[in-house]
Amino acid sequence: MVRHSVLKFLKIFSFTSILFINFTFVAAQKNDTPQLDMTVKRGVIKPISLAVPSFIKESGANSIISRELAKVISNNLDSTGLFKSIPQSAYVSMPLSFNTPVQFSDWSIINADVLVMGSVGLKPDGRLEVKFRLWDVSQQKEIGKGKQYFTNSESWRRISHKISDTIYTRVTGEGAYFDSRVVFVSETGPKDKRTKRLAIMDQDGANFRLLKHPPSLVIAPRFSPTTNKIIFTGYETGKPRVYLMDLSSEEITSLPELKGMSFAPRFSADGSQIVLSMTENGNTDIFINTLSTGVKRRLTTNNAIDTAPSFSPDGKSIVFESDRGGGQQLYIISTQGGDAKRISFGKGRYATPVWSPRGDLIAFTKIKEGKFHIGVMRVDGTKERLLTTSFLDEGPAWAPNGRVLMFFRETPGRAGAPSIYSIDISGRNLRKIKTSSFASDPNWSPILN
Amino acid sequence: MKNIGLAFFVILLLVGCENDKSFKNSLDEAQISESDIEYFQNLVGDTVLFTVDQSGLRPDAISILNAQVNWLKEKKFLPITIEGHADEQGTREYNLALGARRATAVREFLLAKGIEQDRISIVTYGKERPLRVCSNEECWSKNRRAVTVVGKKIVE
């Protein structure tokens, strides 16, 4: 195995190149701070009313793409629960050209707060040119600068996600997350004979694809934050063991130092290390492994079960679960070692802690009185909030903006099976992600490049 | 960087290996037939059960394991793999660790009774391979188990 080349080779991989240009139009505004008077944090929110007409078709563009661009943007923004699209059938007019002045009265009469105006054209070299502007209807002014994108025509969906991210960011002030993907486990077959396959899809469930690997059991894939790789647990040798997969070639690499039983791996934010648990003589502890050198360092030496570790974004701490105090609880330990500090104290068992990419919260699974919950707490263990409850909710995964979680929910009984859901960290907007098979163990990529 | 696929379960059922002297002897001794496997599973008992979230061996488990020991001492050189399992009422990673504890508890017992260390492999499946599929204690109690699989050794 050629270790050194691994990281060198894997510069951030963008699977399509998208060029975008800001362009100024009349009185453009300066930045991406929230432009509308909207409070996301209040208990009850009135969604922002959104109009996204089909994109104006310019030179040679396909009318399906011009419609679909608008549809994907509406779906993305509606999925946040913060926006509500007005159906196109309610529009009193449709924009005819990208550069004609907006008839604001046509949009205020249908109570639109925000108008998205876009166009799509096909360049002679085969690239798509997509432009859009965002308008505040009541103020009759543009929100931020217009943007222009060039890409190959297969990538139109990613343009929709990028435009959605720009709109979401400008209007809410939150970070972007639509132009991202989810890696997960696709499950088929009966409950006592499940076949599990690694799979990948866009965050909205589109572009579902199975990844190539030996047919043995696989568990919990996780993205590298810096390279186009995932790490997962597989049973190729007959025992659970951690492997890397390069997503561009789907080549799998084993890490010799993780022989034995290793599982529950996660990357550090800089992608250079993984934290995982290994079992020796029946005892499971936490280890940190440096990918470039293959040097493995033991972090805990307790004879309790220490597992499900997750790095803090600054790389200085690890949150993990341990039953050292009798039941499963959450602990934080320095990556340099030392004593672990318990942070969860509520009734029940706490498991699968995941540090938010913003650094402010830890998401977890909680088991209490026979029910499973997804919850969040502050890093010091205070302000615990349970967001969901069911027979089995498990495995929270953060969106790149630290604002939305995905997890999987399994139904009980003989026909019981898992599906992936998303929920806002406010506890609102629980949504099932449509997948073509049963689905579990979601993990969210960083924003794509 | 050749990938993994090569190393799979090796099921040592006295096939091939003619040219491997040191192995041959073991395998001759370790002949196992379908009826042996059936006998072990049904009359000796290949499965021991555990209490919720525990890996301690209960009295019912110990009597089964004693029978396993007697049988395994007759079938010298026969390799075994102990699979540890958990029910669905826990999280995936924890259940993997719990299954490993259960398989290890069985391994320690067999070792203490004189079964040779190099015959025994262990593996945990956590909650990944339930035997029974209902979602109540009737099934869960059967899924919290360690299974001794004879004639199988994990080669990494």
**CATH number, domain at B149?**
3.30.1330.60
Q: Which of A392, A411, A443 to mutate to test the interface with B (most CBs of B within 10 A)?
A: A392
Sign of CA dihedral B116, B129, A322, A219: positive
pLDDT at A9 over 90: no
Query: What is the mean pLDDT of the segment spanning B11-33?
Result: 44
Distance, in Å, from the CA atom of A212 to the CA atom of A197, rounded to the nearest integer, reads: 8
Residue of A nearest to B105 (CA): A282
Lowest mean pLDDT among A276-280, A328-332, A411-415, B9-13: B9-13
Calculate what percentage of chain B has a pLDDT beyond 70.
80
Q: Which CATH number fits domain A181-444: 2.120.10.30, 3.40.50.2300, 3.30.360.10, 1.10.150.120?
A: 2.120.10.30
pLDDT at B27: 44
pLDDT number for residue A61: 82
Q: Suggest the residue from B55, B94, B109 to mutate for an interface test with chain A (most A CBs closer than 10 A).
A: B94
- Which range, of A12-26, A178-192, A343-357, B119-133, averages the lowest pLDDT? A12-26
Put simply, whether A245 touches B (Cβ < 8 Å) is no
Dist CA B123 CA A31 (whole Å): 55
Is residue A147's pLDDT more than 70? yes
Question: For A410, which residue in chain B has the nearest alpha carbon?
Answer: B88
A308: closest CA of chain B, how far (Å): 6
Distances in whole angstroms, Cα of residue A317 to Cα of each of A92, A311, A351, A407, B111: 56, 6, 17, 23, 39
For A110-119, the pLDDT digits (tens) are 999 999 999 9
Residue A31 pLDDT more than 90?
Answer: no
Contacts of A416 in chain B (CB under 8 A): 133, 135
pTM of the model: 0.88
The tokens of B96 are what? 């993997």
Check whether B2 has a pLDDT greater than 50.
no
CATH 2.120.10.30 region(s) of chain A? 181-444
Given the cut 0.95, state whether the ipTM is greater than it.
no
Q: Which of B104, B125, B130 sits opposite A281 (nearest CB)?
A: B104
Task: Determine contact, residues A254/B3, Cβ cutoff 8 Å.
Answer: yes
Is A17 in contact with A138 (CB distance < 8 Å)?
A: no
Q: Does the beta-carbon distance from B96 to A264 stay under 8 Å? A: yes
- Which pLDDT band, with edges at 50, 70 and 90, does B10 fall under? very low
* Residue B85 pLDDT > 60: yes
Q: Which residue of A has its CA nearest to B1?
A: A1
pLDDT at residue number B6: 35
Residue A2: is its pLDDT beyond 90?
no
Give the model's confidence band at B30: pLDDT under 50 very low, under 70 low, under 90 confident, else very high: low
- Closest approach of A181 to chain B, Cα-based (Å): 23
Q: Considering only alpha carbons, which residue of chain B is nearest residue A323?
A: B94
pLDDT of residue B152: 84
Higher pLDDT, A374 or A259: A374
Beta pairing partners, A438: A187
What integer is the mean pLDDT of A52-58? 95
Residue A214 token pair: 């030996």
The Cα B8–Cα B84 span in angstroms is 19
**Which residue of A lies nearest to B130 if distances are taken between CA atoms?**
A192
**Residue of chain B whose Cα is closest to the Cα of A213:** B5
Q: Is pLDDT above 60 for B22?
A: no
State whether the Cα torsion A140-A144-A148-A154 is positive or negative: negative
A234 touches chain B (CB under 8 A): yes
Q: What is the pLDDT of residue B7?
A: 37
CATH 3.40.50.10070 residue ranges in chain A? 18-172
Contacts (Cβ under 8 Å, ≥6 apart) of A358: A175, A313, A401, A402
The helix (H) or strand (E) run that includes residue A294 is: none
A277/B92 Cβ within 8 A: no
Q: Residue A59: its pLDDT value, please?
A: 84
Q: Does the pLDDT value for residue B16 go beyond 70?
A: no
Contacts of A323 in chain B (CB under 8 A): 94
CB interface of A with B, residues 276-295, below 8 Å = 277, 279, 281-284
Tokens standing for A356? 């938010």
Checking if the pLDDT of A41 tops 50, the result is no
Q: How many angstroms away from the CA of B76 is the closest CA of chain A?
A: 23
- Using the predicted structure, report yes or no on whether residue A23 has a pLDDT greater than 70: no
Residue B4: list chain A partners with CB under 8 A.
Answer: 214, 234, 236-237, 243, 252, 254
Looking at residue B31, its pLDDT comes to 61
Would you say the C-alpha torsion A304, A308, A309, A312 has a positive or negative sign?
Answer: negative
| Burial tier of A391 (Cβ tally within 10 Å: 0-12, 13-18, 19+) | middle
Q: What crossing angle do the helices spanning B92-112 and B59-74 adopt, rounded to 10°?
A: 60
Return the minimum-mean-pLDDT range out of A325-329, A410-414, B18-22, B52-56: B18-22
- Cβ <8 Å between A237 and B91: no
User: Nearest CA to CA, how far is B31 from chain A (Å)?
Assistant: 22
Q: Is B156 within 8 Å of A259 (Cβ atoms)?
A: yes
Which chain A residue has the Cα nearest residue B88? Answer: A392
Structure token pair of residue A354: 């995941």
Q: Report chain A's mean pLDDT, rounded to a whole number.
A: 90
Q: Read off the pLDDT of residues A159-213 as tens digits, 9 standing for 90 and up.
A: 999 999 999 999 999 999 999 999 999 999 999 999 999 999 999 999 999 999 9
pLDDT in tens, B38-54: 999 999 999 999 999 99
Q: How large is the average pLDDT for residues A380-406?
A: 97
**Which pLDDT band holds residue A11 (cuts at 50, 70, 90)?**
very low
| pLDDT averaged over every residue in chain B | 84
Among B4, B7, B134, select the one facing A413 at the smallest CB separation. Answer: B134
- Residues of chain B whose C-beta is under 8 A from some C-beta in A? 1, 3-5, 7-9, 55, 81, 88-94, 96-98, 100-101, 103-105, 107-108, 121, 123-125, 128-135, 154-156
| Structure confidence at residue A44 (pLDDT) | 58
Distance, in angstroms, between B43 CA and closest chain A CA? Answer: 24
Give the list of residues 6+ apart from residue A91 with CB closer than 8 angstroms, or none. A51, A53, A106, A110
Largest separation between any pair of C-alpha atoms in chain B: 52
Mean per-residue pLDDT for A328-332?
Answer: 98
Would you mind telling me the total number of residues written for chain B in this entry? 156
Mean pLDDT of B19-27: 41
Q: Does B7 sit within 8 Å of A1, measured CB to CB?
A: no
Per-residue pLDDT reduced to its tens digit, A399-418: 999 999 999 999 999 999 99
**Contact residues on chain B for A351, CB-CB shorter than 8 A:** 90-91, 93-94
Helices (H), A80-139: 104-108
Looking at chain A, which residue has its C-alpha nearest residue B8? A237
Please check whether residue A377 is in contact with residue A362, taking contact to mean a CB–CB distance below 8 angstroms.
yes
Residues of A in contact with B81 (CB under 8 A): 238
Mean per-residue pLDDT, B20-46: 69
Asked if A443 reaches chain B (Cβ–Cβ under 8 Å), the answer is no
Contact A191 B154 (CB under 8 A): no
Task: State the CATH architecture for A18-172.
Answer: 3-Layer(aba) Sandwich (3.40)
The structural domain count of chain B equals 1
Percent of chain A with pLDDT over 90: 85
What is the DSSP secondary structure assignment for residue B45, as one 8-state letter? I
Q: Which of B11, B57, B92 to mutate to test the interface with A (most CBs of A within 10 A)?
A: B92
Three-state secondary-structure class, residue A397: strand
**Nearest residue of chain B to residue A349 (CA atoms):** B90
Residue contact B123–A352, C-beta within 8 A: no
Q: What are the helix (H) ranges across chain B?
A: 21-29, 34-39, 59-74, 92-112, 137-143
What pLDDT does residue A117 have?
A: 96
Q: Is A300 on the interface with B (CB under 8 A)?
A: no
pLDDT at site B28: 42
Q: Which amino acid type is present at position B129? A: R
**Min Cα separation A1/chain B (Å):** 4
Residue A6's pLDDT band (cuts 50, 70, 90) = very low
- Shortest Cα distance from B98 to chain A (angstroms)? 8
Dist. CA A374–CA A350, nearest whole Å: 10
Strands B120-126 and B80-85: parallel
- Listed range (A38-42, A76-80, A337-341) with the worst mean pLDDT: A38-42
